Amino acid sequence: MKQIEGSRAIAETVALCRPEVICAYPITPQTHIVEALSEIVKAGELDPCAFINVESEFTALSVAIGASAAGSRAYTATASQGLLYMTEALYNAAGLGLPIVMTLGTRAIGAPINIWNDHSDAMALRDAGWIQLFAESNQEAADLHVMAFRLAEELSVPVMVCVDGFILTHAFEPVDIPTQADVDGFLPPFEPREVLNPAEPITIGALVGPEAFTEVKGLAHQKMLRAIERIPALASEFAARFGRTSGGLVRSYRTFDADTVVVALGSVSGTIQEVVDAMRDKGQAVGSLSVGTFRPFPFAAVRQALMHAVRVVVVEKNVAVGMGGVLASDVREALGAEAPLVHTVVAGLGGRAITTTSLRRALEQAHAGTLELLHFLDLDRPVVERATAKEMCR
Amino acid sequence: MSGQQPIKFYQTGTFTVGNRLLDPEKRTVQASIGRSNALTSGHRACQGCGEALGARYVLDAAMRATNGRLVAVNATGCLEVFSTPYPESAWQVAWLHSLFGNAAAVASGVAAAFRVKRSDVRVLAQGGDGGTMDIGFGCLSGMFERNDDVLYVCYDNEAYMNTGVQRSSATPAGARTSTTPAVGSDPGNAFGTGKNLPALAMAHGIPYVATASVADLHDLEAKVDRAMAVHGARYLHVHVPCPLGWGSDPAKTIEIARLAVESGLFPLFEAEHGEVVRSTPIRRRVAVDPYLRLQTRFAHLFDGGVAGAEVIARIQAIADKNVARFRLASTETESELP
């Protein structure tokens, strides 16, 4: 255990995974991760490995695509606007089945420009064909990268490890950085299924027309679903080797006999658990569910965890403007026709603190039946009302 | 010499592969039965496609130069579309297509992977003028400034042909495209626009930059050879007529390409580390008029009006400027510039 910044813990763990090509373009709050990696590579501690400073995120992922197709273990990291700037390449990497691993230091998306944490970036690219894992803590953020490379290479699917910007990336916590021997034992060397090789030339990235495009996409979906089986198995194997629990599909906290269950992604789960404990102390039957694997969405695991709930409150750090909450929508889909009441609580946008007091108030309202179906936590209503009134006068 | 077919490929009046008069070692790669056929026959390019011809020569020359230790990265565009309609592929070289704008960056990644693996495999990236000069320019400039070990080849047919002949930053002044129609007071593509990519490549100070044309395939091969003899970022800009987009007779692709060179509109030169070191003098200088006349994209200049004649004069001035700038009027066979 050492007291270490989240970004440093991630960088050191990524280095233990022996990536061969690392490429990155700086963006807050991802910078500390790639700075640390550039130092590790430059010092020769990770040989052989190329660290490539590129001129954009689109290039960062494109370099990773080339490196991966040529048989290298490739890694990059980004956030927010950077992820959106990569969009075209994200779909391409997934479509080509390249097992690239990327850290996403989750951050809001402008306008208005905002460098602080929420999940708008991860949500925007949730359907790009990447597995998306969310870390609750810095320990899990580090550990997920070891699992991510293994999972990506087993399935030939790229994996995005989503780590809350600033809240985790810049926080100092005790983290147990695994040993090289343990990581090597868990993560075998990368053996690409198909590789650019002059001795056995293949064509990668051919044009596919209507006669086969549906099959290609159908197979991609099927392959993605295999992660639903592999993730719990890998988490168990990880626990056996490293002696701690990290990763997995979902994690329930005091949900047994809970009539109200709070669902969330990422680091806010810790805050939610505090609220759950406080309310349990008052005899209220509350529990929480942390969704660790967001893509592929673990429908069955979510359904099972929420089976006995009377109401579900999804706390999410994004708003799909004109729709509501993305995670809540997926949770409703998981619950099907006999769904309990599912509330969406939009919270923590653009880095606004999610306090136990505000969360608890929302849960009390849910219990009393007074919580809106779509609720913006701590919304400054007078400001919104004034602006709305002005707009109406135009 | 075994493996050579000295007569079969002779083509009267072209520089294509008619090299039976040359010593075997000076013959083109295409004259050898042992050529790699990296881009093999049966693909779906149009008749008279300059790009298909250029790509075949470039790839086979690069394959010979690297002893077959080559990977090609392709931008989206005609070349990619006509060569790989699933489940077919015309490529007999390890080949990767990712996106329209990222071929240079993907090639950088492939080169990095081989460097890390201490492999001798070399990387060639290729795209059209749109994929290279417009949407791919950021990635290309990054590859140049990092001096990544990639030869990037641009097949310049002066517009977005794959999508139906829209203007690119390589479209010449006065040319009609589907987004610069020949209407109004200033028909066709505007003067004073566009960019000179070989000059921009040179501004990065990379080891090697050259222009070439499908009118002189021997020269094209020689430039690929020279490019593959050095490491670092290299750029080859190949002029490739497009019968579909230019409105020209497919049988006249080589003739049109040659007129572009001989008029001075497409100067052939080589540069090393940012300085022009060689240019190919024009043996028989021609006016731009016959070049323009063979293409319907310039037909509006020949409607007998005064305006058309003025535009042709302005295009002639561009050619004259090139001739002066690159010393193309020299009587020597190759001008060595200081």
pLDDT per residue, tens digit, chain A (394 aa), is: 999 999 999 999 999 999 999 999 999 999 999 999 999 999 999 999 999 999 999 999 999 999 999 999 999 999 999 999 999 999 999 999 999 999 999 999 999 999 999 999 999 999 999 999 999 999 999 999 999 999 999 999 999 999 999 999 999 999 999 999 999 999 999 999 899 999 999 999 999 999 999 999 999 999 999 999 999 999 999 999 999 999 999 999 999 999 999 999 999 999 999 999 999 999 999 999 999 999 999 999 999 999 999 999 999 999 999 999 999 999 999 998 877 899 999 999 999 999 999 999 999 999 999 999 999 999 999 999 999 999 998 8
Helical axes A138-155 vs A6-16, angle rounded to 10°: 30
Segment B205-232, tens digit of pLDDT? 999 999 999 999 999 999 999 999 999 9
Indicate the domain borders of chain B: 36-336
pLDDT, residue B102, reads 98
pLDDT at B334: 54
In A, minimum Cα distance to B96 occurs at: A204
Query: Is residue B7 scored above 70 in pLDDT?
Result: no
* Ordered structural domains, chain A, with CATH: 2-242 (3.40.50.970), 250-383 (3.40.50.920)
Give yes or no for B107 touching A (CB within 8 A). Answer: yes
Please answer whether residues A164 and A116 qualify as being in contact, where contact means their C-beta atoms are separated by less than 8 angstroms: no
Between positions 223 and 282 of B, the ones with CB within 8 A of A are none
Helices (H), chain A: 6-16, 31-42, 57-69, 80-85, 87-95, 120-124, 138-155, 180-186, 210-242, 268-281, 299-306, 326-335, 356-368, 381-393
**Contact assignment for A74 to B71 by CB distance below 8 Å:** no
Radius of gyration of chain B (CA): 19
The two beta strands, A250-253 and A286-291, are antiparallel
pLDDT above 90 for B20? no
Longest dimension (CA), chain A: 72
For B109, which of A66, A203, A209 is closest by C-beta distance?
A66
Cβ distance B142 to A64 less than 8 Å, yes or no, reads: no
For residue A194, the distance in angstroms to the closest alpha carbon of chain B comes to 11
* B337 pLDDT tier (thresholds 50, 70, 90): low
CA distances from A54 to A59, B118, B126, B143, B164 (A): 6, 22, 20, 8, 33
Look at residue B3 in the predicted model and tell me its pLDDT.
45
Interface probe with B: pick from A59, A88, A202, most Cβ of B within 10 Å? A59
**Crossing angle, helix A57-69 and helix A87-95, to 10 degrees?**
10
pTM: 0.95
Sign of CA dihedral A333, A337, A340, A341: positive
Residues of B in contact with A49 (CB under 8 A): 116
From chain A, pick out residues whose CB is under 8 angstroms from the CB of B98: 62, 65-66, 89, 92, 96, 205
Mutation site for B-interface testing, chosen from A63, A68, A195, A197 by largest number of B Cβ within 10 Å: A63
Identify the pLDDT of residue B14: 59
User: A74 contacts in B (CB within 8 Å)?
Assistant: 109, 113
Q: What is residue B4's three-state secondary structure? A: strand
Tokens read off for A93: 């990497």
Residue of chain B whose Cα is closest to the Cα of A63:
B109
- CATH superfamily, domain B36-336, is Thiamin diphosphate (ThDP)-binding fold, Pyr/PP domains (3.40.50.970)
Task: Please give the pLDDT value at position A338.
Answer: 75
